[in-house]
A = this chain, B = another copy of it.
Amino acid sequence: MDYFAAVRAFLHAAEPGSFSKAAAQMEVKTSTVSRHINELEADLGIALFNRSTRGLVLTEGGQVFRTHALAAMQSLDDARQSTSSLNASPKGVLRVTMPASFGRRHVIPHLPEFTRRYPRIDVDAVVTDEPLNIIEARIDLAIRVGVLPDSQRVAHAALRFSLAPDDKWILVKRTGGVSPTRAAAARSGPCIRRRRRWRRKCARSSISTRRCSRTMRIGRG
């Protein structure tokens, strides 16, 4: 059974003491509410309502369940709210890694302006020439320049920085010897694997890609 729907139906019905009103409020049929609550009662092994045509009255068990269920649903709403609000206004920690000399010249000078514009973002700049494991080090964005010693990470080598006149980074795929999928990855945007996946997901579900593009705007003058 759809436990979520069942609990919601119960809570909607408990307040006015009516299945019909609950159904109207939830924009489903009375039969659905009735079924959901019957399923819930079967699952709990206890009656939640005393039924009469004069209205419904919560049983003792119904009252107990209602109290806890309300708290549970509240928690779940909190979970959704606080989580999805994270992508509404950019906020949190952004860990960026970059080569030392490149960083000093092209990134660090712009950080004061960046943090002014996005005060809720804490930039965590890992300035190093060491080849980091971007997963283990929890790097959100890696900037690489030149030919990497680790030739297995071809995708990284496809990212090239260009100070273009417009508000975009230009991503140029490496010429020659690139497999179709890798070329596609390079075409579609930033080229580390999970970023490509993220973009695909955005396209699928109409999520704003703001998070990506803002992240990429760090080095713009």
Indicate whether A138 reaches chain B with its CB closer than 8 angstroms: yes
Chain B residues positioned under 8 Å from A68 (CB to CB):
75-76, 78-79, 82-83
**Closest CB in chain B relative to A204 CB, distance in Å:** 7
Evaluate contact between B82 and A197: CB separation under 8 angstroms: no
Number of interface residues of A (CB under 8 A): 53
Q: A86-B61, A87-B61 are in contact. Are A80 and B4 (CB under 8 A)?
A: no
Q: Is the CB of B83 within 8 A of A46?
A: yes
Total identical chains:
2
Report B-chain residues with C-beta under 8 Å of the C-beta of A75.
68-69, 71-72, 75
**Is A201 part of the binding interface, using a Cβ–Cβ cutoff of 8 Å?**
yes
Min CB–CB distance A65 → chain B (angstroms): 4
Q: Is A168 an interface residue (CB 8 A)?
A: no
Q: Is B45 in contact with A64, judged by CB distance below 8 angstroms?
A: no
Can you give 16 A-B contacts (C-beta < 8 A)?
A41-B201, A42-B201, A42-B205, A44-B83, A46-B83, A50-B135, A54-B133, A57-B135, A57-B138, A60-B93, A61-B83, A61-B92, A64-B79, A68-B79, A71-B78, A72-B78
